[in-house]
Structure 1
Amino acid sequence: MDSINHQKRIDWMITLVPFTLISFLCLLFFLIPDQSNEVLGLIRSFLGDTFGVCYLAIGLSFFILSIYIAISQYGDIVLGTPKEQPKYSFFTWGTMMFTCGLAADILFYSFSEWILYALDPHISEMGTVQDWAGVYPLFHWSFIPWSFYLVLAVSFGFMLHVRHRARQRFSEACRPILGKYTDGIIGRFIDLLAVFALVAGTATTFSVATPLMATIIQFVFSIKVSRTTINLMILILTCFVYTYSLLHGIKGISNLANLCFYMFLALLVYVLLFGGETRYIIETGFSTFGRMVQNFISLSTYTDPLRTTHFPQNWTIYYWAYWMVWCVAAPFFIGSISRGRTIRQTILGGYMFGVGSTLISFILLGNYSMGLQFRGIVDFIGNYSQNMDIYGTIIDILQTLPFGSIIMLWVFFTMVAFYATSFDSIALSAACYSYKKLDSGELPHKSIQLMWCILLILLPMALLFSQSSMSNLQSVSIIAAFPISIVMLLIVVSFLKDADVYMKQSLK
């Protein structure tokens, strides 16, 4: 009887339609990889060129809105009952938020992103590689991306903990605007878009950074097996780890998040103290952060209208899209663990922990290799320009550290932990979408969580086997983000409308 009642609570349309379509896409990537990648590239080019300014405008708007919400009367609203206290300590809350929102990409890009920019002609337009290659990583991973997360997190937190809504979905967050249409075809369409975007974000993340993990294993153990085969093994390992922790509930997720953060912190401290570039790292980091803040508005609004380099289309627009598709899961998780905190505490604390940790990662890991480059010790830019293998270049960077092979393995296991904690939150959010209603504090059934753990790994595997280029992996996020950006704006307007009603009711 319990099994029958449980099945009646499942929204089979939201569960099975994405599963069917994702399986079909995976089949296409396996059978006709070249044609699939070509179509991806064409759609990405159209959206990036034609609507690129929309992505940029939404990004700047969300950042400004986050500051306004934090300093206004909205910031006083407690995500819960007015006198409720936070369930988690600031550190535990911060580690769960940080690890759920970034995955292993932060390590991949922290080491390599400045090298990818160094060869871009736009950097020459701006000035020198020393001055500008380290600025863009800080810009692309800090205030605007985290504003997406934090504005939506307080919107979802308000919906869950103040309004006590039982449907943990994008469509439910739009109810103050959509009204009865939330339960109709419009609401269904929004939720299907959200699930597709969720899978797209998962696919991009796994497909971008997993090859680095495979390259580390190949190098350290001198394995001759193909990188694709090792990728498959790593995906299975990571899937096992995050499935195991997820099935142990929020406690399992928080324990893994703490472990992941300590491993990450140990890596940063090691590079800073024992890499031999301490002074360069600190001074260059201080300068690049200042340059990023000074030029924040111009960086946020640069569109390259004459398409002399296509830099914003290739990078800034991709990053904003990448973070938008992650907004389907990460903000829900952040909002759910923020119960008892005020909206102001959630936004400002999120910036402090999330942005602060991210900036430190890029400053320490990126500037370490920049120091070796510009002091003439190793020519990473030249090596990369010859073979265009960014994963091999990161191996070259790690080799320069004392006990390089051990550090590579440390990076590998830290990436596994990052992936696991991030996909814990994604799988949990996806499982919530499968339910028509969930009571406050109730978690989805373990069988549904397990199903999503497996489903989320299929498209990344297909992309890896199809040998998708970096550009085509980026295309997946850019395409999925376009409709999601519209829904994000609808959610924010709904939140502001509902919060106004709540504050007026509280004054009576």
Structure 2
Amino acid sequence: MQIFSILIVIAVALPLILLPEEGKGFIDSLFKSMTHTFDFAFLSLPLAAMGFLIYLACTRYGDIKLSADQAAPAEFSRSSWIMMVFLAGIATGLMLWAGTEWAYHYAWTPFGIEPKTTEMYVVGQAYGLFHWGPSAWAIYCVPAIAMSYIYYVRKKHIYNLSESCRGALGGLVDGPVGTFINYMFLFGILGAAATSLGLGTPMIGMAVASVLGIEPSLTMDISIILACTAVFTISSGLGLAKGIKRLSIFSTVVTVAIVLYILMVGPSKFIIGLGFDSVGYAVENFIKMSTWTDSVGQSGFPQAWTVFYWAWWIAYAPFMGMFVTRISQGRTIREVILGMLVFGTAGTAMFYIVVGGYGIDLQMTETLAVSEIVNSKGGAAAIVEIFKTLPGSTLLLIALAVSGIVLLATTFDSAAYVLACATSSELGEGQEPEKSNRLFWCFVITILPLALLFVGGLKSMQTASVIVALPLLLILFCMMITTMRYMMEDRAAEEATRIGRSQ
């Protein structure tokens, strides 16, 4: 599968490299058409996913333990599990968007609200919380539950998407349809890596350039990618417990320390108060934000933002599902659902409330024109300028760069590990894929984005990965149908066995 996977990726990437302008134009046009034509489908998935997950968590299905040995403890502690899940899911994008997303909405508003008004500070912050909230984590959680159930409860010890669609598609998964489904996973995970790289590298580069007093450059971007590669290759070689787990713990300590520092030295009362206002708005308007297509106003806001975000999360979802499956041995279905939806949402909300709230205070007090910088120079430049207003900014920017590199390495490490699992013929519970296989994918997952960076095709690769979300959307619905069908069949079999024994 490795060689064929590479050939497929090259076949997709080569036109973007040889004809970057034409390829970009085609992909952007396709993406716009997709988001406007199928916006209702993308908006429906998170609502269906949350309903499905809440039902499982609130019924006896939530008690199902993901392990062959029902008496065995969980493979990882709860804190380690939460950190690995959270950091694999958010990468470097969270710090960047947490500090700047409100500024985009401040200038381009939803619901016909007048732009650049005080109301948009709360609404802009609330939309960020919404986009990174329970809807996103529900999209991630569906494949995690579907794959985990098949792997641990049904004891089918292979990692692929097609098997978790068998209950909905039947024997079709054994033919070309199943092959297509499995390769959608490949594009999604490589797109996830390219997107993380595209978001993280400029932010890290600008932070380093600011500390050194130099201009950002392609050489610096390459150096950053190579530094990330060195970190995640060593980590991948060490394996899950010694590598990814330790990297996740270090990442959590550094990033949380940055957020707590901003809260302590910044306008704490304002940040917390604005956070409450924004959370309140997001909760009150959750259904409206979840279903708004703006079919009358035709502003394009929900398609450019909410539909794009849901497509982005869907592209990541199979990778997250497979990774969470691998680290969730010994946990119940209820623990996985609550852990992802509650802790995932709480973690992202903390970043948005603190970093975003501090940025809004700078805008309101006219200390820094954050919105103008965001809309003229981009989010990466804005987040660095925000950090430069803090006491001890040099040390903080160094911490931001280190945090960004480690977060990027954590995502790449998790992606390489999952690809190694997916290309292994069979893995028992707790078994690691071969080290050579893990290192092979470390190489592939670095070379493709690096090559695209040289020719300016990285943005097109990101957009192409999101286009993959349309077939993946159907796959996620199939996963929910399959999981529910399998659970009902297994429950009926257990009841029949119990009745037979009692007679």
Q: Which amino acid aligns with 1:99?
A: L
Residue 241 of structure 1 and its aligned partner are, at CA, apart by 0.9
Task: Specify whether residues 438 and 179 from structure 1 end up closer, same or farther in structure 2 by C-alpha distance, changes over 3 A only.
Answer: farther
Q: Which amino acid aligns with 2:38?
A: F
Question: What is the TM-score when the length of structure 2 is the normalising length?
Answer: 0.93
Q: Which amino acid aligns with 1:221?
A: L
**C-alpha distance in 2 between matches for 1:112 and 1:479:** 25
Please, which of 86, 94, 110 is the counterpart of residue 82 of structure 2?
94
Task: Specify whether residues 98 and 287 from structure 1 end up closer, same or farther in structure 2 by C-alpha distance, changes over 3 A only.
Answer: same
Residue 468 of structure 1 and its aligned partner are, at CA, apart by 5.7
Residue 466 of structure 2 corresponds to residue 506 of structure 1:
no
* Partner residue, 1:20: 7
- SS of 1:84's equivalent in the other structure is coil
* Partner residue, 2:501: none
Query: Matches of residues 12-91 of structure 1 in structure 2 within 5 Å?
Result: 12=1, 15-80=2-67, 81-91=69-79
Which piece of structure 1 moves more, 228-237 or 432-441?
Answer: 432-441
Residue 367 of structure 2 corresponds to residue 380 of structure 1:
no
Please, which of 262, 266, 276 is the counterpart of residue 286 of structure 1?
276
Please, which of 313, 326, 330 is the counterpart of residue 340 of structure 1?
330
Please, which of 396, 401, 405 is the counterpart of residue 390 of structure 2?
401
Residue 473 of structure 1 and its aligned partner are, at CA, apart by 6.4
* Partner residue, 1:7: none
**C-alpha distance in 1 between matches for 2:141 and 2:270:** 33
* Partner residue, 1:3: none
Contact 1:195 1:328 in 2 (8 A): no
* Partner residue, 1:447: 436
* Partner residue, 2:482: 494
Task: Specify whether residues 423 and 439 from structure 1 end up closer, same or farther in structure 2 by C-alpha distance, changes over 3 A only.
Answer: same
Q: Which amino acid aligns with 2:204?
A: M
Post-superposition CA distance 1:392-433 (Å, at most 9, x none): 222210110111121111011111111122222211111122
Contact 1:202 1:456 in 2 (8 A): yes
Post-superposition CA distance 1:134-170 (Å, at most 9, x none): 0111000010010012222122111111111122100
- SS of 1:233's equivalent in the other structure is helix
Residue 474 of structure 1 and its aligned partner are, at CA, apart by 5.6
Task: Specify whether residues 216 and 505 from structure 1 end up closer, same or farther in structure 2 by C-alpha distance, changes over 3 A only.
Answer: same
* Partner residue, 1:322: 312
Contact 1:75 1:343 in 2 (8 A): yes
Task: Specify whether residues 468 and 151 from structure 1 end up closer, same or farther in structure 2 by C-alpha distance, changes over 3 A only.
Answer: same
Contact 2:16 2:457 in 1 (8 A): no
**C-alpha distance in 1 between matches for 2:466 and 2:305:** 11
Post-superposition CA distance 1:23-76 (Å, at most 9, x none): 244333333222221111111011011111111111221122211111122111
Query: Matches of residues 200-349 of structure 1 in structure 2 within 5 Å?
Result: 200-224=191-215, 227-251=217-241, 252-275=243-266, 277-306=267-296, 308-349=298-339
Contact 2:198 2:458 in 1 (8 A): no
* Partner residue, 1:6: none
**C-alpha distance in 2 between matches for 1:130 and 1:260:** 29
Contact 1:142 1:355 in 2 (8 A): yes
**C-alpha distance in 2 between matches for 1:435 and 1:382:** 49
Task: Specify whether residues 124 and 49 from structure 1 end up closer, same or farther in structure 2 by C-alpha distance, changes over 3 A only.
Answer: closer
Contact 2:329 2:430 in 1 (8 A): no
**C-alpha distance in 2 between matches for 1:52 and 1:459:** 30
Which consecutive residues of structure 1, in runs of 5 or more, have no partner in the other structure? 1-11
Q: Which amino acid aligns with 2:274?
A: T
Please, which of 111, 135, 140 is the counterpart of residue 149 of structure 1?
140
Contact 1:76 1:342 in 2 (8 A): yes
Q: Which amino acid aligns with 1:346?
A: V
Contact 2:315 2:465 in 1 (8 A): yes
Post-superposition CA distance 1:418-464 (Å, at most 9, x none): 11222222111111221232233222211211121121223433443
Please, which of 156, 163, 174 is the counterpart of residue 154 of structure 2?
163
**C-alpha distance in 2 between matches for 1:28 and 1:222:** 37
* Partner residue, 2:166: 175
Residue 469 of structure 1 and its aligned partner are, at CA, apart by 8.8
**C-alpha distance in 2 between matches for 1:356 and 1:335:** 21
Query: Matches of residues 133-144 of structure 1 in structure 2 within 5 Å?
Result: 133-144=124-135
Contact 1:79 1:341 in 2 (8 A): yes
Which piece of structure 1 moves more, 286-295 or 67-76?
Answer: 67-76
Contact 2:161 2:182 in 1 (8 A): yes
**C-alpha distance in 1 between matches for 2:315 and 2:373:** 33
**C-alpha distance in 2 between matches for 1:45 and 1:153:** 29
**C-alpha distance in 2 between matches for 1:182 and 1:382:** 50
Task: Specify whether residues 344 and 425 from structure 1 end up closer, same or farther in structure 2 by C-alpha distance, changes over 3 A only.
Answer: same
Which consecutive residues of structure 2, in runs of 5 or more, have no partner in the other structure? 499-503
Q: Which amino acid aligns with 1:318?
A: F
Task: Specify whether residues 482 and 356 from structure 1 end up closer, same or farther in structure 2 by C-alpha distance, changes over 3 A only.
Answer: same
> How much is the aligned-residue C-alpha RMSD, in angstroms?
1.9
Post-superposition CA distance 1:288-311 (Å, at most 9, x none): 001100100000001011353211
Contact 1:47 1:478 in 2 (8 A): no
Task: Specify whether residues 134 and 368 from structure 1 end up closer, same or farther in structure 2 by C-alpha distance, changes over 3 A only.
Answer: same
Q: Which amino acid aligns with 2:134?
A: F
**C-alpha distance in 2 between matches for 1:324 and 1:422:** 16
Contact 2:188 2:466 in 1 (8 A): no
Residue 423 of structure 2 corresponds to residue 434 of structure 1:
yes
